[in-house]
């Protein structure tokens, strides 16, 4: 049955009312529910527009309840991943698209971070629902990651070209850290769309503030000491070994040389943004070995070479 979202609001008003007034509110609420229930049985209205979204409060961060999105479905799996995106479009066009009204390209997202001087956070889909943001995707042993993740879209036309503002990074830190805490997410499971759709997606791009966020405790990053130690010794740069290490960290690659090159690019876009060329050089190997050392319990778990 269609559940009118404003019932929640009326109930909240009721709870805010003085105890003396509550009996009156309660009878009004019951009558309204009954009327709506009977009305709903007679002719269930078709859901043309998604209902505005309500969700958990965030400390120190104001979340605006957005217009909702039809690009969502009931969640069947616990949240284990947080996926970051850039919108590749303006705020108005992105908000329009993310309402999932196009039946041929139904998309959705949990949160949108705007590109205004004081970025706002707009909630489109509640965390209790799965949103259609990841598409064809895989990480470690998981595939079809919409069901396993929370998605955040950041307004940016191309995060490989245009930087993210300091203010956006600050808002992202507040938003992500609370989601991570609430769902007890592991650092290596805070990923970019390009990490989980290798060769298909390039967002949120090499300009995304991964290292800054990681320094504040959001997401994974190798220890500088380990990277330096690795660079000071001989390293195995063989493609087979690097593929195994990428797999051990969580990356899911297509077979063959192009698949590996896309994997190296995705890794570099996240962890070596200064040079994204798909070449397995010493620095790239040193970074991945240091990551595996710091996080020995990565998603794929012990199937491949450990440094
Ligand atoms: Zn994306």
CATH code, domain carrying 256: 1.10.101.10
Distance 235 CA to ligand 1 centre (A): 33
Residues 74 and 168 in one domain: yes
- Shared domain check, 183 and 243: no
Judgement on whether residues 211 and 98 belong to the same structural domain of the protein: yes
Tell me if 130 sits within 8 A of 147, measured CB to CB: yes
Q: Is the pLDDT of residue 54 over 60?
A: yes
pLDDT tens track for 74-120 = 999 999 999 999 999 999 999 999 999 999 999 999 999 999 999 99
pLDDT grade, residue 43 (50/70/90)?
very low
Last-in-domain residue among 215, 244, 269:
215
Check whether 257 has a pLDDT greater than 70.
yes
Percent over 90 (pLDDT), the chain: 75
Residue 153 annotated to the active site = yes
pLDDT class for 297, splitting at 50, 70, 90?
Answer: confident
Residue 34 in any domain: the answer is no
Catalytic residue among 127, 153, 265, 289: 153
Residue 101 and residue 244 share a domain: no
**Co-location of 203 and 237 in the same domain:** no
DSSP H or E stretch at residue 213: helix 210-215
22 in any annotated domain = no
87 and 208: one domain? yes
Q: Could you give the number of structural domains in the chain? A: 2
- Alpha-carbon span 165 to 208, nearest angstrom: 10
Residue finishing a domain among 193, 215, 237:
215
**Do 181 and 78 sit in the same domain of this protein?**
yes
How confident is the model at residue 50, as a pLDDT? 64
- 134: CA distance to ligand 1 center in Å? 7
Predicted pLDDT of residue 235 = 97
| 114 and 67 together in one domain | yes
Look at residue 32 and tell me if it is in a domain: no
Residue 155's pLDDT band, with cuts at 50, 70 and 90, is very high
| CATH number (domain holding residue 149) | 3.40.80.10
3 state SS for 123-136: ECCCCCEEECCCCC
Q: In which domain, by residue range, is 137 found?
A: 63-215
Tokens in use for 38?
A: 């009977």
> Is the pLDDT confidence value at 7 over 90?
no
Q: Ligand 1: distance of its center to the CA of 196 in Å? A: 10
Give the distance (Å) from ligand 1 centre to CA of residue 176: 16
End-of-domain residue from the set 215, 239, 267: 215
């Amino acid at each position: 049955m269609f559940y009118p979202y404003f019932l929640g609001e009326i109930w909240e008003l009721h709870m805010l009312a003085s105890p003396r007034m509550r009996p009156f509110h309660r009878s009004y609420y019951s009558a309204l529910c009954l009327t709506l229930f009977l009305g709903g049985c007679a002719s269930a209205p078709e859901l043309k527009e998604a209902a505005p979204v309500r969700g958990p409060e965030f400390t120190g961060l104001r979340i605006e309840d957005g217009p909702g999105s039809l690009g969502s479905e009931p969640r069947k799996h616990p949240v284990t991943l947080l996926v970051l995106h850039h919108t590749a479009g303006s705020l108005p066009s992105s908000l329009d698209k993310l309402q999932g009204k196009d039946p041929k390209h139904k998309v959705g997202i949990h949160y949108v971070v705007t590109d205004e001087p004081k970025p706002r956070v707009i909630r489109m889909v509640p965390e209790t629902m799965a949103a259609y943001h990841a598409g064809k995707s895989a990480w470690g042993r998981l595939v079809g990651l919409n069901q396993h993740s929370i998605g955040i879209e950041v307004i940016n036309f191309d995060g490989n070209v245009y930087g993210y503002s300091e203010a956006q990074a600050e808002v992202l830190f507040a938003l992500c850290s609370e989601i991570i805490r609430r769902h007890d997410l592991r650092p290596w499971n805070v990923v970019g769309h390009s990490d989980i759709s290798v060769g298909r997606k390039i967002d949120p791009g090499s300009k995304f503030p991964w290292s800054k966020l990681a320094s504040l405790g959001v997401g994974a990053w190798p220890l500088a000491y380990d990277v330096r130690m690795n660079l000071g010794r001989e390293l195995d740069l063989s493609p087979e070994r690097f593929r195994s290490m990428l797999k051990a960290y969580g990356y899911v690659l297509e077979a063959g040389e192009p698949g590996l090159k896309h994997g190296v690019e995705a890794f570099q876009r996240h962890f070596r943004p200064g040079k994204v060329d798909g070449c397995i050089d010493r620095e790239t190997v040193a970074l991945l070995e240091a990551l595996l050392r710091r996080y020995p319990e990565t998603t794929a778990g012990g199937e491949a070479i450990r440094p």
